[in-house]
Amino acid sequence: MKRKIVVLTGAGISAESGIATFRDANGLWEGHDVMDVASPEGWRRNPKLVLEFYNQRRKQALTVAPNAAHYGLAKLEEKYDVTIVTQNVDDLHERAGSTNVVHLHGELSKVRSTADPKLVYDIREIDPDGWELVLGDQCPKGSQLRPHIVWFGEAVPLIETAAEEVGLADIFVVVGTSLVVYPAAGLIDFVPDSVPKYVIDVKLPPVSPRPNLRLIEAKASEGVARLVEELM
């Protein structure tokens, strides 16, 4: 039976592929206040702006490719049972070959009904080019479709699933996240003391001292390469 690795990834791993990070130091995202484009209030105020914002994010995502860090984590599946828990909404882990990915904050490539959150669709079912969602695009119940993204102020439906996975880990890895966005940042607290923990980031986040903690100060691609070499 393969040992289980659970990896929590954040914006730092996608940044190396050229994907703009969700939030910079000024609380802006591509020139927009995040609350205007990533909150239920912003959606109610100006749904057209929100749809266009995510259209541009999808369009950009189609131009980028997985990087060495994504491929390195996928390679671990040759020897381990690997679960990726990601805060990222792109599909770069899947495109690199990872087969078990939990998207805490939703998926850019999917849209859902505003009337029934369980009605989720691939964007290509709406737009064959894979990026455009506009006002008037509706689910079968006649309700406007919205991005399948967890916005600020919304519950994180998969956090319990992620916590269960983390509790079962034989090895826990954090890559490219500041560990300040909750509830994802609290997942490290579900890792048993006996389990080896690796934290990889070019700017190491503040992690309270705990047993079996290894800090690797490097960008995602370099840190994951070192991790893979060690574990394989």
- Decide if 211 contacts 191 (C-beta within 8 A): no
DSSP assignment of 88-146, as one string?
--S-HHHHHT-S-EEETTEEEEEEEESS-TT-EEEGGGT-TTS----TT-B-TTS-BEE
In single-letter form, the type of residue at position 23 comes to R
Q: What gap in Å lies between CA 57 and CA 64, rounded to an integer?
A: 11
Q: What gap in Å lies between CA 223 and CA 72, rounded to an integer?
A: 10
Is 105 considered catalytic here? yes
List 70, 93, 103, 105, catalytic entry: 105
Q: What gap in Å lies between CA 82 and CA 168, rounded to an integer?
A: 11
- Catalytic residue list: 105
